[in-house]
Amino acid sequence: MPKTKEAVYGCILGHAVGDALGEPVEFADRVPKEIPKLSPVNNHFTDDSQMMVAIAEALLAVPPHKNSQEQFMAELSRQYVEWRRHPLGGSHRSPGAACLEGAANLHSGKLWHQSGGLTAKGNGSAMRSSVVGAFYHLDLNMAWRVGCLTAVPTHNNLEPILCAGAVSLLCAACIAGLSWPKAVREVQMRIENWENSVPYYPKEVRLGSKFEDQNPWYTAAHFSIGYILGHSAREDRDLFDWNGNDFASVPATTAAIYFNTRYSTFRDVAVNCARWTMDSDTTAAIAGAIAGARFGVEGIPHTWRTDLELSAHFHELAERVWEASLEVGRPPAPAARSGAA
């Protein structure tokens, strides 16, 4: 079991490394994919890591446990707009339509709970929420709650909201030292109680099985089957054939659960996830963040961490998140007494 600081670093570096591993083959339309070696000339992260950093900056600037929900969401909205205008690394890297549209709506003045698409079910919500788990590893309820909230400004539908919360909570639970089966169970418990555990979802959208509906039961069932298949004797190709289009949030998160269940090293989780999925940068970013939280930063090959584009930036971000995370749950210092009049 890695030390907590190593696990926080592993979550953040694992996210970016998984993203970079999958980036060269993101649009390859056949599996299995041949994953190129991560090197100083093949090391680019994508919008998945750019938006993860945007969430991290919002958490650090206006931590939700010290501020109101509205204050945090206003800062998060500002960070999403800033990502759209000035993305980390100087260019957009395959940004999703729902993320761009949500950020554009925020920029035009729409409120955070009005800017996201009600039928936007893409994996853009789950691809960025891992850092919430790193920040709130001392408070699993906050990890779930805030993770869910980060989806709403761009993906205002219960399925992607649940997926964002799930990724955050899985990372937080693993950093906190829970076993992988217990971490998965933490997610399932909250999905089972979604009506009480999700801080915001669009109640005007019908619950049902049509595309335009929102379906928490599909989400829970898909996660469970992915976990079960991870323990089975089936081949990875079978997950690809069954899981569906992982450009959507539920299959993408399911793939991360499957590969973390099946494999016991960061390398095997991240490489096989990128190899056997379609949206390989996003699925490997999600799976890599969770695997980094499970195995710690030392479980990520050293050259992958150092050859990563803007490696120093991600290491510095991990240190800032780690230091801020220690303040969660700590009682405020007593006010200094004034002197005698």
**Which two three-digit tokens encode residue 339?**
């002197």
Task: Tell me the pLDDT band of 94, cut-offs 50, 70 and 90.
Answer: confident
Q: How many CB atoms lie within 10 A of CB 341?
A: 3
Report the pLDDT value the prediction gives residue 30, as an integer from 0 to 100: 87
**Which two three-digit tokens encode residue 44?**
């680019």
Q: Which of 1-5, 41-45, 105-109, 198-202 has the lowest mean pLDDT?
A: 1-5
Rounded to whole angstroms, what are the CA distances from 125 to 67, 148, 275? 23, 9, 22
Percent of all residues in the chain with a pLDDT value above 90, rounded to a whole number: 92
Rg of the chain taking only CA atoms, in angstroms:
19
Report the pLDDT value the prediction gives residue 212, as an integer from 0 to 100: 93
Give the model confidence (pLDDT) of 260-286 as tens digits: 999 999 999 999 999 999 999 999 999
Contacts of 55 (CB under 8 A, 6+ apart): 76, 79, 128, 129, 131, 132, 150
Could you give the CA distance from residue 276 to residue 234 in angstroms, rounded to a whole number? 14
**Hey, where are the domains in the chain?**
4-201+213-325
Percent of all residues in the chain with a pLDDT value above 70, rounded to a whole number: 96
Could you give the CA distance from residue 176 to residue 170 in angstroms, rounded to a whole number? 10
Give the model confidence (pLDDT) of 123-141 as tens digits: 999 999 999 999 999 999 9
Give the model confidence (pLDDT) of 146-192 as tens digits: 999 999 999 999 999 999 999 999 999 999 999 999 999 999 999 99
Report the pLDDT value the prediction gives residue 29, as an integer from 0 to 100: 83
Report the pLDDT value the prediction gives residue 339, as an integer from 0 to 100: 44
4-201+213-325 CATH: 1.10.4080.10
Report the pLDDT value the prediction gives residue 260, as an integer from 0 to 100: 98
Contacts of 90 (CB under 8 A, 6+ apart): none
Report the pLDDT value the prediction gives residue 333, as an integer from 0 to 100: 55
Instruction: Print the SS3 string covering the chain.
Output: CCCHHHHHHHHHHHHHHHHHHHHHHCCCCCCCCCCCCCECCECCCCHHHHHHHHHHHHHHHCCCCCCCHHHHHHHHHHHHHHHHHCCCCCCCCCCCHHHHHHHHHHHCCCCCCCCCECCCCECCCCCCCHHHHHHCCCCHHHHHHHHHHCCCCCECCHHHHHHHHHHHHHHHHHHCCCCHHHHHHHHHHHHHCHHHHCCCCCCCCCECCCCCCECHHHHHHHHHHHHHHHCCCCCHHHHHHHHCCCCEHHHHHHHHHHHHHHCCCHHHHHHHHHHCCCCHHHHHHHHHHHHHHHHCHHHCCHHHHHHCCCHHHHHHHHHHHHHHHCCCCCCCCCCCCCCCC
Report the pLDDT value the prediction gives residue 331, as an integer from 0 to 100: 59
- Mean pLDDT across the stretch 46-63? 98
Contacts of 7 (CB under 8 A, 6+ apart): 137, 174, 175, 292, 293, 294, 296, 297
Task: Tell me the pLDDT band of 340, cut-offs 50, 70 and 90.
Answer: very low
Identify the residue whose tokens are 């990520």: 300
289 and 255 Cβ atoms separated by less than 8 Å? no
Give the model confidence (pLDDT) of 219-266 as tens digits: 999 999 999 999 999 999 999 889 989 999 999 999 999 999 999 999
The closest of 130, 208, 213, 210 to 175, measured between CA atoms, is: 130
Report the pLDDT value the prediction gives residue 27, as an integer from 0 to 100: 86
